[in-house]
Structure 1
Amino acid sequence: MNVRRLIPTAALAGSLTLGLVALSACSPSDAADDAGGGARKSGGKLAVVTSFYPMQYLAEEIGGSHVDVSTLTKPGVEPHDLELGTRQAAQLGEADYILYLKGIQPAVDEAITAAGVKNTVDAASLTTLEKHGAEVGHDHGDEHADEHADEHAGEEHAEEDHAHEGEAGTDPHIWLDPVKYAEVAKGVGASLEKADPDNAAAYRKNTTTVVERLTALDSAFEQGLADTSTKTFITTHSAFGYLAERYGLTQESIAGISPESEPSPARIKELRTIAAKDKVGTVFFETLVSDKTAKTVAADSGLKTDVLDPIEGITDKSKGADYVEVMESNLAALEKALGAK
């Protein structure tokens, strides 16, 4: 299936804005002048700080010309292990509005709580989070499930060590499901209207546009993945549980919810069995984490490798300039790997 480009975006403008923000605030007093809410308010824009790219994208697209957006996670930085510097903490305190996703960046969660900014929005509160493990989605069948019950139980225990990845072990990767991401977009729009009522009409209009784009993206995924030779895909990072569940697929991850966790020998053995049984031909890796493990597993099982991007940041290696373009690339990669008809 050829996926048409769904969104013309302002990605370059957003990048320029971030570049200017990054050059500002070399001292606490400078931060108050250049990154502070007072300075930007007097200039007519809401000073918005976001935690990482999926939040930045919504803030920029919905806020439009009425917001000045900066992000705590620089392009190319793996967001899960972000540690905040003094300047970034000061930046939070000077914000008019903060948008983040609780449970994916512990250091950010702590700093945002300490900042005490009135208009602070947790994207996780705008939709419903679920628990996802190493295997999510389409049912392999009782026999397969019983055969590997012990190994999966081991994976679940291992993932408990990464409890910071979501509230009570929930999966925070909601933005990889266009439907859930649209729910978040609606909540962000409503919160911006409340924070800046003078520009409520613009935020409402922009929210409608974003939701329409995400709805179109959802339709493209639903149609593109409706008829495939296999429903199973293997990925290094268990980030695609919501996507798998939405479109009737099975995600089998090498690691768990945390991209840095190491797979057990039992898990590697299990993946070989799954690949053979479910006719899996590709192991996916991502742009911000080493592909060493994926390539090792692929070589061991005679499989190919390709990129399935969790879109935690946009870099020059990303297959697209913004969220929707990269999601389109993800769809194309899944169609190819799964044998879409």
Structure 2
Amino acid sequence: MKRALGTALKTSALKFPALLSIPALAIPALLFAGTMRAADAPVVVTSIKPIHSLVAAIMQGVGEPELIVDGAASPHTYNLKPSNARALQEAKVIFWTGPGLEAFLEKPLQALGSKASIAELDKAPGLVKLPFREGGAFEPHDDGDDHDHAGETGHDSDHEHDHDHEHGTFDTHLWLDPMNAKAMAAEITTTLVAADPANALTYQANAKALDDRLTALDKEIATTVAPVKDKPFVVFHDAYQYFEHRYGIRVAGSITVSPETIPGAERVSEIHRKVGELGATCVFAEPQFEPRLVNVVIEGTSARSGVLDPEAATLKAGPDLYFTLMRGIADSMKACLSSA
């Protein structure tokens, strides 16, 4: 073993003379530095892709978080796998949105995540929380200032409208406003620094870079949707309030209030009438749910169909996913509404 290592070092020295100046005892440390660093990274588990993306961006250079709801799965219908349970048991830090969206995680976290720091991101300071819209026919919002402030008075004013609701009374698709993503990223950073102070500087530097990217993304999306924001459209389920609130767009209604519940014939007929009455230009399906219903809703109308992916079902997990997700929603809206 020693002779083989010596031969390898001599060969390397002929190719890289600088190795001759490194003390022999330091060579093994250099060879295994990458492994040591990976071992030092805390085990971090995240619930859904948008949250995983924000955590992954902040952890770059330290480690990579694990993801529970992967692939095309939806948190609305997800069942925990044995591999997910093992990850929760081993985790040092766990990030989830909260029981309003990821009800499947509530009991497992109590049973399996007792050793971890658990961050419920729907409690992050500074979040804008909008009341959950019941009924879902649904009529245009309040006829008042729902949209006016989003495009005219500056985005920062949105935070004045924060609602401190308990679980189940606010819309849980919080990440669809980049300002909420900023608030969640700040909470993620605070949690990681407390759990892993040795890597605090890396987390904080990454968080600053992420915050700057989110600022630029917000301006980009506002520009993208500006030409079509006054055209009404219908969505599969009511998941887009935060995007709507932020950019002043017109969601005229949803096919179903909750994606767990397939609407009946009466409900579909109601939305079909609504599309005609409002002159809705597009009806958007989602990758995880029944697209056939969208075809029924637009049949006999001038509306077009499109696809929106609010939970990133079709996207590959990673630090850039959040940006791809948000741009995809804006681009899909613009493409369908512009051509209608």
Q: TM-score range by the shorter chain?
A: 0.7 to 0.9
Alignment partner of 1:123 is 2:121: yes
Percent sequence identity is 24
Q: Cα offset for 1:141?
A: 4.5
Q: Which residue of 1 aligns with 2:226?
A: 226
The 8 Å contact of residues 314 and 322 in structure 1, kept in 2 or not, is answered as: no
Deviations 1:35-70 (A, max 9, x none): xxxx99981111111111111111111111212311
Q: Corresponding residue for 1:304?
A: 304
The answer to whether residue 66 in structure 2 is matched with residue 70 in structure 1 is yes
TM-score normalised by the chain length of structure 2: 0.73
- 1:210 and 2:195 matched: no
Partner of 2:6: none
Could you say if the C-alpha distance between residues 187 and 231 of structure 1 is closer, same or farther in structure 2, counting changes exceeding 3 Å? farther
Q: Quick check: 1:53–1:314 contact (8 Å CA) kept in 2? A: no
2:255 maps to amino acid: I
Aligned residue runs from structure 1 range 53-202, under 5 A: 53-102=49-98, 103-114=100-111, 115-126=113-124, 127-133=127-133, 134=136, 139=141, 141=143, 167-202=167-202
Contact 1:79 1:312 (C-alpha < 8 Å) held by counterparts: no
Q: Which amino acid aligns with 1:106?
A: A
Contact 1:136–1:250 at 8 Å: present in 2 too?
no
Question: Residue 43 of structure 1 aligns to a residue in which SS?
Answer: helix
Change (3 A) 1:138 1:246: farther
Q: 1:268 to 1:119 in 2, by over 3 A?
A: same
- Counterpart of 1:19 in structure 2 is none
Q: What SS does the aligned partner of 1:168 have? A: coil
**Farther-moved stretch of structure 1 (259-268 vs 115-124):** 259-268
* TM-score for both structures, normalised by structure 1: 0.72
Alignment partners' CA distance in 1, 2:36 and 2:90: 10
* Structure 1 unaligned regions, length at least 5: 1-38, 143-165
Q: CA RMSD in A?
A: 2.8
User: CA separation of 1:40/1:192 partners in 2, compared to 1, >3 Å: closer, same or farther?
Assistant: farther
Work out which of the two has the higher radius of gyration on C-alpha atoms and give 1 or 2: 2
Offset of residue 189 of structure 1:
1.2
Q: Deviations over 1:146-180 (max 9, x none)?
A: xxxxxxxxxxxxxxxxxxxx813321101111111
Q: Is the 8 A contact 2:38 2:62 kept in 1?
A: no
Q: 1:196 to 1:42 in 2, by over 3 A?
A: same
**CA deviation string 1:269-298 (max 9, x = no partner):** 443343334332211011222211112212
Count of residues in correspondence between the two structures: 275
CA distance in 1, matches of 2:73, 2:232: 29
Match of 2:254 in 1: 253
